[in-house]
Amino acid sequence: MRHGLRRATVAAAVGSVLLTGCSSTVVGAASRGASVPVDVTADGFPITGSADSETDRLARNALADLDTFWSQAYPEYFGEPYQPISGGYFSVDSTNIDESAYPSTGIGCARAPERPDGVANNAHYDPNCDVVAYDRALLEQLSAEYGPYLGPAVMAHEIGHAMQGRFGFADSAIVVETQADCLAGAFTRWVVDGNAEHIALRVSELDQVVLGFIGLRDPVGLAPDDDRAHGSGFDRLSGFYAGYEGGVGTCRDDFDEQRLFTATEFTTQADFDNEGNAPYEDISGLTAQTLPLFYEQVFPALSAEFTEPTVEVFDGTAPDCGDMGAEDRDLGYCEADGTVYLDETDLLGPAYEGIGDFAVATAVSLAYAQAARAQLGVSIDDATAVSSAVCLTGWYAGRFWTGDFADVGALSPGDVDEAAVFLLTYGQEEGVFPNTELSGFEMVDAFRDGFLDGGAGCEIGL
């Protein structure tokens, strides 16, 4: 079993990315190590086939820091001495392969030789040889699209597989891959906390890293029990966040066959053809039925009665009600007339075309959550309100996932990913949430909390 990357195509808002085993993320002000990061020399950390390139420099620095990280973490969490990679590291430029740069066994070993082009558009850990190989042309593309940390994130994921090769691979591919994502998240937190000597992660890069991480998902509709499965974008994000927040111990203890995965198969050819997207004109009817039902079930636990707000769309010019017009918002709730307003021209339409149908449902849910909070007599327009609205939207999506609205509709493969992409793409725009400094990373985390754990963390008094 070799673990690596595979090309996947994500929504236009995310772009076209590649993967099958890589990733990472955070928030605040620029994080550096104990001192300014210093580069590892090529002699100090050899990578066969490497060039004098920025991509190889970043990979080498990341791999050196990963060696330090695991030399500390492995004995602590697995009770055994750390075993460094024994078969070496290999860099390949798939656009211009120089066969002479590699030994006769290529990027493998005598037991399992492999030609250098075997890693084209990929990165992998091979337990047969205990080697890590990567296509630097791939890493260059990922860095260009999502910033310089995505390359180190790929390295962290692959070294995570190397650690699994030592403590044991799970039987399920999707568990193996998301656990490696978790280990990459644990390493990322270590970097953000200022422990790395050779790489740094700036807060301004984090939202792009999260978007890139979603782009590393499986093709939408791939069966979760497929032996190539790596998980949906949300599955991979959840793995990463688990490691980032809980550390290596969480990765060790919380990844098995019982873990929740949102990757599902398409069941009809029509779903394959339209990627599970309902017609745009049908979405308003779906949200009009499910959002009131959701809050009618939530409010009794708060000793309150929910009153369904009016929902109106507009074309480009916000209505003159409350702050909607004054701040030229694309989304919001106006208490003066009890109406949820959404901009079809500048928000809903582009979100549908660029991301998918559940991005539209997510936008409606965010504004609807503001209406619910107003009825509960709590804030609707500060950082707490934003986090709460996003969490409630995650809870609403989770209720879809568990089949609570089965008589009305159900989530399609990729829908939960679309919600996360919407938050990362539009969440920090002034027209959506003008009065918050929450990052996309924090918003996705709040959505994840609601989806996985319900309303306990949504700050509405539950």
**pLDDT, tens digit (0-9, with 9 covering 90-100), for 379-415:** 998 999 999 999 999 999 999 999 999 999 889 999 9
Query: Which of 224, 253, 282 is a domain's end point?
Result: 253
Q: Which two tokens stand for residue 438?
A: 């929450």
Sequence-distant (≥ 6) Cβ neighbours of residue 460 within 8 angstroms: 298, 302, 372, 373, 376, 378, 388, 392
**pLDDT, tens digit (0-9, with 9 covering 90-100), for 422-452:** 999 999 999 999 878 889 999 999 999 999 9
Q: Is 215 in the same domain as 316?
A: no
Q: Is 42 in the same domain as 127?
A: yes
E strand spans, 76-153: 89-92, 123-126, 131-135
Q: Which two tokens stand for residue 274?
A: 């339209």
Query: Which of 253, 279, 310 is a domain's end point?
Result: 253
Q: For residue 237, give the amino acid letter.
A: L
Q: Is 235 in the same domain as 306?
A: no
**Structural domain for 175, as ranges:** 3-253
DSSP state of 218: P
Q: Is 246 in the same domain as 293?
A: no
Are the beta carbons of 370 and 252 closer than 8 angstroms?
A: no
Exposed / middle / buried, residue 113 (Cβ in 10 Å: 0-12, 13-18, 19+): middle
Averaged over 265-270, what is the pLDDT?
80
Q: Is 313 in the same domain as 409?
A: yes
Q: Is residue 99 domain-resident?
A: yes
Structurally, the chain folds into a number of domains equal to: 2
pLDDT tier, 4 (very low <50, low <70, confident <90, very high otherwise): low
Q: Is 136 in the same domain as 56?
A: yes
Q: Is residue 259 domain-resident?
A: no
Q: Is 294 in the same domain as 248?
A: no
pLDDT computed for residue 34 by the predictor: 47
Are the beta carbons of 104 and 113 closer than 8 angstroms?
A: yes
Q: Record the pTM.
A: 0.90
Q: Is 430 in the same domain as 365?
A: yes
**pLDDT, tens digit (0-9, with 9 covering 90-100), for 290-331:** 999 999 999 999 999 999 999 999 999 999 998 899 889 999
Q: Which two tokens stand for residue 139?
A: 């890493």
DSSP state of 106: B
Nearest to 389 by CA among 369, 418, 371: 369
Residue written as tokens 């660029």? Answer: 354
Q: Is residue 93 domain-resident?
A: yes
pLDDT computed for residue 95 by the predictor: 97
Give ∠ CA 234-397-345 in degrees, rounded to 5: 95
Q: Is residue 261 domain-resident?
A: no
Q: Is 300 in the same domain as 441?
A: yes
In terms of residues, how long is the chain?
Answer: 462
**pLDDT, tens digit (0-9, with 9 covering 90-100), for 104-118:** 999 999 999 999 999
Q: For residue 446, give the amino acid letter.
A: A
Query: Which of 253, 280, 300 is a domain's end point?
Result: 253
Give the C-alpha separation, 344 to 451, whole Å: 26
Q: Is residue 443 domain-resident?
A: yes
Q: Is 40 in the same domain as 97?
A: yes
Q: Is 377 in the same domain as 410?
A: yes
**Pairing assessment for the beta strands 331-334 and 339-343 based on DSSP bridges:** antiparallel
Averaged over 457-462, what is the pLDDT?
94
pLDDT tier, 27 (very low <50, low <70, confident <90, very high otherwise): very low
**pLDDT, tens digit (0-9, with 9 covering 90-100), for 36-55:** 899 999 999 999 999 999 99
Cα torsion 285, 287, 289, 290 to 10°: value is 150
pLDDT computed for residue 20 by the predictor: 38
